[in-house]
Amino acid sequence: MIKIGLLGAGLMGNVHAEMYAKMPDVRVTALGAFQSFELRKIQEKHPQIKAYTELDEFFNSGIQVVDICLPTFLHKEFIEKSLAHHLDVITEKPLCRTVQEADELLELNQKSEANIYVAQVLRFFPEYIYLRNMIKSNRFGALKSLYMGRYTGLPGWSINNWLVKPELSGGTPLDLQIHDVDVILFMLGEPQKVTVKMRQNKLHIWTRYDYEPDMVVMMEGGNDMPPSFGFEMQYQAIFEKGLIRYNNNQNPPLIEFDEKEKRVVNLNEGDSARLDKHIPAGDAYFVELSHFIDCIRQKKPSDIVSLESAARTVKMILNNLPN
């Protein structure tokens, strides 16, 4: 039995608790949160979880893994505390708030026997795995251009509005567009040139990655949609001999076009065979956390989201922000 201590009981803390509840031989046994209403909310669904108000009691409660779903600016502090107790760590994205923190965590991890696993969940979404494999397979020829979009309204659910304070969350680049940046680096590696532009309100960002010999990636992210808009993520990949288009709000969401026909891609049926064998189709959060638990059981780092790659994503974003 893997015993998990969960730090943070907001939106993602609840998602993680739900995923662990579906896994055999995994149990969230300890909960630490800084807001009493969060504790009550998660314990209503998971009454078996014991809440701790003292951190020492939390860390010494018999847990083997700490899952950090706290605000971004607290990630590094509690990763360090967890490693000091020789506990493996799963942390929500982003890894940390600053480049210096990323470097310090990389150095700290080299000295620790425990592992840090970073929940860059887009790497586990079937639609993005499908795109990665289509690029690798060369079935449509070389990738010529890729557009990625991610849009939502201003997040108003965070405690004390920490999400809308760039000094705490990193703002739209580090909290929202990080998903697309991370998966692009995962698929294509580092670009030769980076160009970034943001609106004056700092809530909308355009990022261009130039690759050789003749390929461009454009990413757009916005936290300034109307409240009624909801959430949307999308991509359009243009190849030499085809095109793939995905939009989570359209039905069907995933379509590909080749030289002869337009075809709906159904990743819940036959097309799922073309996903990575070690990343099966299914709920991305469940697949992601199950993968981390398997790595913990084998006492090895993740071969899908290495700490180094998660740190690289943070650095790529922060080192290229416009003044």
Ranges in the chain annotated CATH 3.40.50.720: 2-119
pLDDT band for position 276 (50/70/90)?
Answer: low
CATH topology of domain 122-279: Dihydrodipicolinate Reductase; domain 2 (3.30.360)
pLDDT digits (tens, 9 = 90+) for 93-135: 999 999 999 999 999 999 999 999 999 999 999 999 999 999 9
- H/E segment holding residue 40: helix 36-45
Report, as an integer, the average pLDDT of 196-211. 96
pLDDT digits (tens, 9 = 90+) for 9-38: 888 999 999 999 999 999 999 998 766 666
Residue 280 pLDDT greater than 90, yes or no:
no
Tokens 């790595």 found at = 295
Instruction: Write down the mean pLDDT value for the chain.
Output: 92
Q: Tell me what pLDDT residue 154 has.
A: 87
pLDDT band for position 160 (50/70/90)?
Answer: confident
pLDDT band for position 271 (50/70/90)?
Answer: low
pLDDT digits (tens, 9 = 90+) for 289-319: 999 999 999 999 999 999 999 999 999 999 9
Determine the longest span between alpha carbons in the chain, in angstroms: 64
Among 57-71, 73-87, 107-121, 258-272, the range scoring the smallest mean pLDDT is 258-272
pLDDT digits (tens, 9 = 90+) for 162-197: 888 899 999 999 999 999 999 999 999 999 999 999
* Long-range CB contacts for residues 104-111, cutoff 8 Å, separation at least 24: 104/76, 105/76, 105/79, 105/80, 105/307, 105/311, 106/307, 106/308, 106/311, 108/79, 108/80, 108/83, 109/83, 109/307
Q: Tell me what pLDDT residue 12 has.
A: 92
- H/E segment holding residue 132: helix 126-137
Q: Which of 72, 95, 105 is nearest to 171 (CA)?
A: 72
Q: Tell me what pLDDT residue 10 has.
A: 85
Residue 270 pLDDT greater than 70, yes or no:
no
Residue 278 pLDDT greater than 60, yes or no:
no
Report, as an integer, the average pLDDT of 142-160. 89
Ranges in the chain annotated CATH 3.30.360.10: 122-279
Rounded to whole angstroms, the Cα distance separating 32 from 51 reads 6
Q: Tell me what pLDDT residue 167 has.
A: 93
Rounded to whole angstroms, the Cα distance separating 49 from 6 reads 9
Q: Tell me what pLDDT residue 11 has.
A: 86
Q: What percentage of the chain has pLDDT greater than the value 90?
A: 79
Domain covering 2-119 in this structure, CATH number = 3.40.50.720
pTM tops 0.85, yes or no = yes
Residue 279 pLDDT greater than 60, yes or no:
no
Q: Tell me what pLDDT residue 323 has.
A: 79
Q: What is the number of residues in the chain?
A: 323
More confident residue, 96 or 46: 96
